[in-house]
Amino acid sequence: MANVVTSPAGRRATLSLLSVFPPSQSRSFSSTVPRCLDFDHIVIGGGVVGLATARRLTEKRPSASTLLLERHPQPGTETSSRNSEVIHAGLYYGRDSLKTQLCIRGRHLLYDFCSARAVPYKKVGKWIVAQNDAQHEALERIYDLCAADHGLDVPVRWVGRDEVWAKEPFVRADAAVLESPETGIVDAHALMLALRGLFEEEGGTVALSSAVVGVEPLPRSGPQTQKGSAGWAVRVRDAQTGEESTVTAAIFVNAAGLGAVDVHNMIASPEQRRMLYYAKGNYFSYTPAGGPSIRVGRLVYPAPEPGASGLGTHLTLDMAGRIRFGPDVEWVDSPDDLAPRADRLDQALAAIRQYLPSLDARSLAPDYAGIRPKLGRQGAVVEGKGFQDFIVQKEEGYEGWINLLGIESPGLTSSLAIAERVERLLYG
């Protein structure tokens, strides 16, 4: 249901705010916003990255006003709730990438945040397993990167054969096992709930069912100023009524995940426009069906393949200790193609049996799927040919536009560090 809200600058905007901002509840904002603009910041996208960014802005800039726009009736229903919920250590992305930097920083921030805010998490650790010489070499490259003195904070250790048998009798590893003790799992929903709660407590405004359908710089005040220096007009369509309205802000952050390239293209000149590619990952649930029930105490990943667009179909655990497998890589044409594919089960089974040979086919069932926003057709996840880094930047030639593009894995792990980077890009 659409609602008329009064922005900190006193302008009335029609947005779907009722579910989070009942009309009876009065809020007082103190704001640094220029008199003619509605908000200081608008964050587009209520996934984990948008929520973390919006919260960081209210935490560090308490006198500024921040509006979070989300097209669905609830935040966090797209990629942020369709992933492995793994807190990655930062093993795969090379020495100098933004992914490595933000993953390592994000992991520390996330463990601290979860401890402080009672968000469920477990540092369960992970084994990466190699079955042959080529895979062993892939693990050695990871070991060299992490163990060598590159100043990276990513502990790893080799696990001997006896320890493998003693600790994980179901796991096969013919050539080697590399352990990452800092890898963990987190309840992504609880994390997003905590971030949203803090954002609203600190005076932030969440507008749900509010799809951004246009973004443009407000007319410039002088010939020398950059596009966006007078602020931004964001056109919002109420997903329930179809009604459109415009809100303005000095700064906007594009954290729209699978919609981020569309938002980018609303502003960019034809030669700056981008394409997004969709790499779906199918997950499979595990329910013991005859034979010995498999028990595993940590995450198990196959050795990464150079150039692959995912990390390989791995074994993850949820907070209750339940096993699930995935994600595979299936290129799709639409970000809405989210039905898990039963016909990919045999392929997944073959991949999983490489490291879990006793897995019974009847115990697997299609579960859910998520889609990786890929900026390139290959979008390799491991350092090397085709590797695609995160884009977290101030757009050149514009003022007040922060663009977050290609925020695939390890975006959940990195979310708090991305938020920190955005705030620093804006305020130093």
Ligand X SMILES: Cc1cc2nc3c(=O)[nH]c(=O)nc-3n(C[C@H](O)[C@H](O)[C@H](O)COP(=O)(O)OP(=O)(O)OC[C@H]3O[C@@H](n4cnc5c(N)ncnc54)[C@H](O)[C@@H]3O)c2cc1C
- Chain residues in the site for ligand X (CB under 6 A): 44-50, 69-72, 78-80, 83-86, 88, 211-212, 255-259, 263, 281, 327, 370-372, 407-413
Tokens of 193: 């709930």
Nearer to ligand X, 29 or 368 (CB): 368
Minimum distance of ligand X from residue 384's CB (angstroms): 20
Minimum distance of ligand X from residue 211's CB (angstroms): 4
Tokens of 344: 């990919």
Nearer to ligand X, 44 or 139 (CB): 44
- Tokens 């150079």, located at residue: 306
Minimum distance of ligand X from residue 165's CB (angstroms): 28
Return the beta strands (E) in 89-231 as ranges. 121-122, 126-130, 157-158, 176-180, 184-186, 205-207, 210-217
Minimum distance of ligand X from residue 210's CB (angstroms): 6
Nearer to ligand X, 80 or 180 (CB): 80
Minimum distance of ligand X from residue 60's CB (angstroms): 19
Number of continuous H segments (helices) and E segments (strands) in the chain: 8, 22
Q: Phi/psi of residue 141, each to 5°? A: -65, -40
Minimum distance of ligand X from residue 352's CB (angstroms): 16
Nearer to ligand X, 227 or 314 (CB): 314
Nearer to ligand X, 2 or 175 (CB): 2
Say how many C-beta atoms besides its own lie within 10 A of residue 335's C-beta. Answer: 17
Minimum distance of ligand X from residue 409's CB (angstroms): 4
Nearer to ligand X, 82 or 164 (CB): 82
User: Angle at CA 49, nearest 5°, toward 45 and 52?
Assistant: 105
Longest CA span, the chain: 75
CA distances from 121 to 117, 189, 241 (A): 11, 11, 39
Nearer to ligand X, 183 or 363 (CB): 183
* 3-state secondary structure at position 144: helix
Sign of CA dihedral 193, 199, 201, 203: negative
